[in-house]
Structure 1
Amino acid sequence: MRAILERLVAFDTVSSKPNMALMRYVKEVLESAGIAPLLIPDADGTKANLFASIGPVGAGVMLSGHTDVVPVEGQAWTYPPFALTKAEGRLYGRGTADMKGFVACAVAAMLAASKRPLKVPLHLALSYDEEIGCMGVRSLIDMLEAAPQRPRMCIVGEPTGMQVATGHKGKVALRATCVGREGHSALAPMALNALHLAADFVGAVRGLQADVVATGLRDGDYDVPYTTLHVGKLNGGVQVNIVPNLAVLDFEIRSLAGDDPETLIARLRWAAEEIVAPLRAAFPEAEIRVERLWDYPGLGTSSDAGVVTFVKGLTGANGTIKVAFGTEGGLFDTRLGIPTVICGPGSMAQGHKPDEYVSVEQLGRCEAMLAALIDRLEAGF
């Protein structure tokens, strides 16, 4: 596992870059054990998903992980981000926690399983572009959707401290395009400032968030127990003496399972119309256009589901948690009907930061869970 992780970390698979070299490495490692992986390339052949199975034909258990990582630019790293460094019981490097540590454990588990007479198959699903909206895995899901059999259950190895997580919020990424009218800043009242429209729309987003906090659904299993709205990016203007005619802001909704994001989006579109409607007599072009960019569903596996009981038995866990971050698990559950939990080594508190790390102890616990899984698959579940 350690040797595999060292190789995985050395591949710079930031989402904006190819991951094909990493996938070919994993493919070669699996082929050396007699496993025949399938690569599912993207349109230009620079990125790919990977799917592999060991054991008899059948439903089985799927281990799921993504191979892309977030950028390191602008971060003050003490250790080299794309080289594995061990120090004080920790393994440092970009992606060690999120989530190449689990991927290395899963690949090593496939190698170990290839030497065992499994009665139930073990599947491995590796994806790309998870960090930019769970985009790459969708072609792998299309493949599984058309397959004669789908995995019986799935373990997504995002970092949970090896606790069994049953849920996360869904996410919708949106864009509001604000159209005004340009003009000289000396005559600013005769123009329509698109940035001012954007500021008013930000106020509407914040007002809706306050209403959700006051009156919306709550789920105490989350650190933030309600649906959240967040503006993450605002662009507009050329220079200070020009009233800008265009401003674009990107925002998101992270929703609880019981909240309908479409209802919230409709309320924001209504608020946008309220902002611009009084202005159209003087500025017919005035507009705030709200559009969806991408989304992924939440995960809400019942705490008494078979997959939860099964994975708790592998880890020795007594309870379950829910996680603040999104995963591909909601897509496996919603699109394919595969019961899914999240359980992997490390903590997301170390993810996306300089000097990202996973502890040797956490990797050991993950290896123990996967060894117990292989024993169960050999015994017939």
Structure 2
Amino acid sequence: MSLSQTLAPRALSLLDTLVGFDTTSRLSNLALIEWVEAYLDDHGVAHRRVPNADGTKSNLIATVGPSIPGGVVLSGHTDVVPVDGQAWSSDPFKVTLREGRLYGRGTCDMKGFLALALAAVPDLVAADPKKPVHLALSYDEEIGCLGAPDMIRVIANELPLPALVVVGEPTNMEAVRGHKGISTFRVTVTGHEAHSSQTQLGASAVMAAVKLMAYLSDLADQLEREADPASPFTPKHATLTIGVVNGGTAGNILARECAFLFDLRCQGGLDPDQILAGFYARVAETDAALKARFAHAGVTIERRSNTPPLNPEEGGVAEAFARRLAGDNGPARVVAFAAEAGQFQGAGFSTVICGPGSIDQAHQPDEFVEVSQMERGAAFMARLVDWARSGE
């Protein structure tokens, strides 16, 4: 039996365990981190945490092999998106096998990759590797890659310098050389409550917010019209979407507050702040108008994240490495979603994205990864073990 044939069922078992931890971004990921630490301890693998400011969440870095430069980083996030309001056919926090698909929250995005990386640990240890393999597990990727920067600083400044990084986001086990960046914002409008028949006595935060959202909707349409036909991305243009809106207390009360979240996703070469310059001006105008009527009223805008794009690296070491391990001879590829790959690249690392599953299944009810994708991922990890053993 080949190494990949023994590694694959181990990964499927680990995937069931990892999915069983509800690591929705609004919750702590520490229970999962503690379980992974115990697993690594069982195999004699050194590890360290890189926690957030209040210690409620943590990144985890582990190294299998010698403490020397030239290793490979396998990076993936531990958090998942919510299942609230989604119509699941089975328990989202238990892996369910149906017709060659493994259903569960995070099976695709991206605990499948984490399961494969952890499944390779016993074989890496047994291989007496000549080159190290570093595992990098982050938190809060789904809300703007918030945890990865601190982890990347530790890797860059305190580990023997790795040669490259593989980020295991779902790409059907094909090498991806570029992704868009993402900037996320929260806009909060504060008005003044009054009876809805007495508009002269109050200011509706909802009405003001609607106008700001209308501006963003028009801007999104403009970005689509101005798409570069030569762009390799799908869609080709920068995208702007409003994802959450909350405001008001009753239909007959002028709303005191309305808040909304939006994100802007740009390919390399585009400046999010330049694109949003007109919106910033509109926010300032609205803020001044509200404050002129009620001193406590106004508008605030908070940038929640600013994740850089991954720019294609011609002749990149990471892409060539991933292609060799994945058996990938296909065309150059980019993706519209964002990941910590751009952050690793910004820290000076050659970086590629390659992991099991399709982004088409991510964030959906009945999210799944195909068993065949996990088998391809197991073959990738088996070749990684061979590479580490040889130290080429």
Does structure 2 conserve the Cα–Cα contact (< 8 Å) formed by 1:173 and 1:294?
yes
Partner of 1:346: 357
Deviations 1:248-291 (A, max 9, x none): 22222111111101112322112334556677766677644333
2:31 is the counterpart of 1:21: yes
Residue 234 of structure 2: which of 196, 215, 223 is its match?
223
Does structure 2 conserve the Cα–Cα contact (< 8 Å) formed by 1:97 and 1:347?
yes
2:331 is the counterpart of 1:319: yes
Does structure 2 conserve the Cα–Cα contact (< 8 Å) formed by 1:219 and 1:226?
no
Residue 186 of structure 2: which of 155, 159, 175 is its match?
175
Partner of 1:102: 113
Deviations 1:93-137 (A, max 9, x none): 221111111111101122211111322211111122222221222
What RMSD over aligned residues (CA atoms) do the two structures have, in Å? 2.4
Deviations 1:165-223 (A, max 9, x none): 11111111112233444433222255433322212211211222233223355663222
Which letter maps to 1:337?
G
Moved more, 267-276 or 363-372: 267-276
Residue 161 of structure 2: which of 150, 163, 176 is its match?
150
CA shift, 1:235, in A, is: 2.6
Q: What residue ranges of structure 1 are gaps of 5+ in the alignment?
A: none
Partner of 2:59: 49
Does structure 1 conserve the Cα–Cα contact (< 8 Å) formed by 2:290 and 2:298?
no
CA distance in 1, matches of 2:87, 2:54: 33
Structure 2 length as normaliser, TM-score? 0.89
Partner of 1:294: 305
Does structure 1 conserve the Cα–Cα contact (< 8 Å) formed by 2:60 and 2:138?
yes
CA 1:116 to 1:325, structure 2 compared with 1: closer, same or farther past 3 Å? same
Q: How many pairs were matched up?
A: 380
SS of 2:313's partner is coil
Where do 1:258-269 residues align within 5 Å?
Answer: 258-269=269-280
2:210 is the counterpart of 1:199: yes
CA distance in 2, matches of 1:12, 1:82: 7
Deviations 1:37-56 (A, max 9, x none): 22333444443221111222
CA 1:247 to 1:21, structure 2 compared with 1: closer, same or farther past 3 Å? closer
CA distance in 1, matches of 2:187, 2:267: 22
Moved more, 99-108 or 247-256: 247-256
CA 1:278 to 1:315, structure 2 compared with 1: closer, same or farther past 3 Å? same
Structure 1 length as normaliser, TM-score? 0.91
CA 1:189 to 1:299, structure 2 compared with 1: closer, same or farther past 3 Å? same
CA distance in 1, matches of 2:226, 2:370: 41
CA distance in 2, matches of 1:348, 1:215: 25
Where do 1:364-375 residues align within 5 Å?
Answer: 364-375=375-386
CA distance in 1, matches of 2:296, 2:30: 46
Q: What residue ranges of structure 2 are gaps of 5+ in the alignment?
A: 1-10
CA distance in 2, matches of 1:52, 1:278: 53
2:4 is the counterpart of 1:2: no
CA 1:282 to 1:81, structure 2 compared with 1: closer, same or farther past 3 Å? closer
Partner of 1:331: 343
Which letter maps to 1:120?
K
Which letter maps to 2:20?
A
CA distance in 2, matches of 1:256, 1:198: 28
Where do 1:64-83 residues align within 5 Å?
Answer: 64-83=75-94
SS of 2:352's partner is strand
CA 1:341 to 1:79, structure 2 compared with 1: closer, same or farther past 3 Å? same
Which letter maps to 2:364?
K
CA distance in 2, matches of 1:219, 1:238: 47
CA 1:273 to 1:12, structure 2 compared with 1: closer, same or farther past 3 Å? closer
CA distance in 2, matches of 1:213, 1:308: 30
Does structure 2 conserve the Cα–Cα contact (< 8 Å) formed by 1:303 and 1:320?
no
